Amino acid sequence: MKEHKALILAKKELHAVSYTPAFYGVALFFTLFCSIWLFYLQRFFTMNQASLRPFFAAFPVAFILVVPMITMKSWAEERKIGSMELLLTLPFSEWDLVTGKFIACMAEIAVLLILTLPVPLGVMGLGRFDGGVIAGEYLGALLLGSSAAALGLLLSSLSKSQAGAFLGSASVLVVTMLINNVSAGMNLPRGVTGALNFVSLAFHFESFSRGIIDTRDLGFFVISTVLFLFLNTRVILFRKWR
């Protein structure tokens, strides 16, 4: 069976990443950050409850830096080194190109999440942890990463350099991740609070962090991911015909 063009591009991207020391640094940072957050900042051993919610609460914060590190080079680097024009001449559709980049980014995020598995596995013997809840929390983290990665790819396609892509993605993710905390700490009208919560990625992750799979939050992550990828294809199409 002929391999899909998006998978071909994804494999190319992942092959390049495997030889990039930066990704291993990102993986180390993510693993250490989440572990330190749980055991030192949240004082897990003094909580006296079998819950990993404080551990997964670190993921939205970590993604603010980690996702831009993963996505910043995807399109900005292509423009910088001049390979963007060559890429656009290949017999790939805009969806093939964007999807291929997205699959590669999601594979990297999946690796990061897998590297955190020793934490829940290591504390399982300390109490009666609910495996179903933990599975739901990881599903939520993957969905959160998909929306953040799609957004990061879109901003990378709009940037001329990796630094610009990183700063732009990190700035937007700070807002979309933490804006629900702003609304919670201020006495805002209910309609304004609802609007701020709706655009907050971290707000839609909260149900998953409790092990609850809410179809509304699931739908939000899927729709936002597809929307950002669609906008990415429009940017690529504009570059192609400009």
Q: What is the pLDDT of residues 54-85, one digit of tens each?
A: 888 899 999 999 999 999 888 877 777 766 76
Report residue 1's pLDDT band, with 50, 70 and 90 as the boundaries. very low
As given in the structure block, the two tokens for residue 68 are 């831009």
Distance CA 147, CA 59 (A): 13
pLDDT in tens, 165-200: 899 999 999 999 888 777 666 777 777 788 888 888
Grouping H, G, I as helix, E, B as strand and the rest as coil, residue 181 is helix
CA distance 131 to 135: 6
CA–chain centroid gap for 113, Å, is 11
Q: How far apart are CA 134 and CA 129, in angstroms?
A: 8
pLDDT number for residue 78: 73
- Mean pLDDT for the chain overall: 86
What integer is the mean pLDDT of 201-230? Answer: 91
Instruction: Find the mean pLDDT for residues 50-56.
Output: 81
226 pLDDT band, cuts 50/70/90, is very high
From 25-29, 31-35, 41-45, 192-196, the region with the lowest mean pLDDT = 41-45
Tell me if 76 sits within 8 A of 162, measured CB to CB.
yes
Alpha carbons 91 and 152: distance in angstroms, whole number: 25
- Cα gap 227→80, rounded to integer Å: 26
CA distances from 129 to 40, 124, 169, 214 (A): 20, 6, 35, 21
Q: How confident is the model at residue 104 (pLDDT cuts 50, 70, 90)?
A: very high
The DSSP-derived string for 16-70 is HHHT-HHHHHHHHHHHHHHHHIIIIIS-GGGT-S---HHHHTHHHHHHHHHHHHH
What the block records as the tokens of 79 is 């423009």
pLDDT, position 192 = 78
DSSP state, 128?
-
pLDDT at 2 over 50: no
